[in-house]
């Protein structure tokens, strides 16, 4: 198979899989920017709006809009910076952490059920072998 066609098909399948997983978790009402902020706060820990804007390559004013929407949804909360009271440190709320965990569990459950229903044990082994190759695409 031509490499160009293989790359195109892989991109297409990865995109479809991502959409199907997103459908299972109920994150459809969050914008990509909002999702990126939640993932960054989860991965990197608390941050200021300026830190988030820099990390996401956004203007601070645009990030302020994203942060305000997430705060009003109860997904993030701010506390004064102990070193500089003019700054606010943002972090995920407990409700957000629970929501994220439930979403991951729903995606994992759907994926397990779908793999078991659509693939024979031999095909599951082939899928496992393919994952090793796919991992090499993204590993540095």
Sequence ranges of the domains in the chain: 1-29+93-140, 31-92
HEC readout, the chain: CCHHHHHHHHHHHHHHHHHHHHHHHCCCCCCHHHHHHHHHHHHHCCECHHHHHHHHCCCHHHHHHHHHHHHHCCCEEEEECCCCCCCEEEEECHHHHHHHHHHHHHHHHHHHHHHHHHCCHHHHHHHHHHHHHHHHHHCC
pLDDT reading at 62 higher than 90: yes
Span 68-87, pLDDT tens digits: 999 999 999 999 999 888 89
CATH topology of domain 31-92: Arc Repressor Mutant, subunit A (1.10.10)
The per-residue pLDDT for 111 is: 95
Q: What pLDDT, in 10s, does the model give residues 120-138?
A: 999 999 999 999 999 999 9
pLDDT > 90 in the chain, percent:
79
CA atoms lying within 13 Å on the CB side of residue 62: 12
């Amino acid at each position: 198979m031509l490499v160009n066609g293989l790359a195109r098909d892989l991109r297409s399948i990865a995109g479809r899989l991502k959409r199907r997983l997103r459908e299972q978790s109920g994150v459809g009402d969050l914008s990509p920017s909002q999702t990126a902020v939640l993932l960054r706060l989860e991965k990197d820990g608390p941050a200021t709006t300026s830190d988030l804007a820099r990390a996401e390559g956004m203007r601070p004013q645009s990030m302020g809009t994203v942060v305000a929407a997430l705060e009003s949804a109860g997904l993030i909360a701010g506390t004064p910076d102990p070193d500089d009271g003019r700054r606010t440190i943002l972090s995920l709320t407990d409700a957000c952490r629970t929501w994220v965990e439930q979403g991951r569990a729903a995606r994992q459950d759907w994926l397990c059920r779908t793999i078991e229903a659509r693939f024979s044990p031999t095909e599951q082994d082939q899928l496992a072998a393919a994952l090793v190759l796919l991992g090499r695409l993204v590993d540095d």
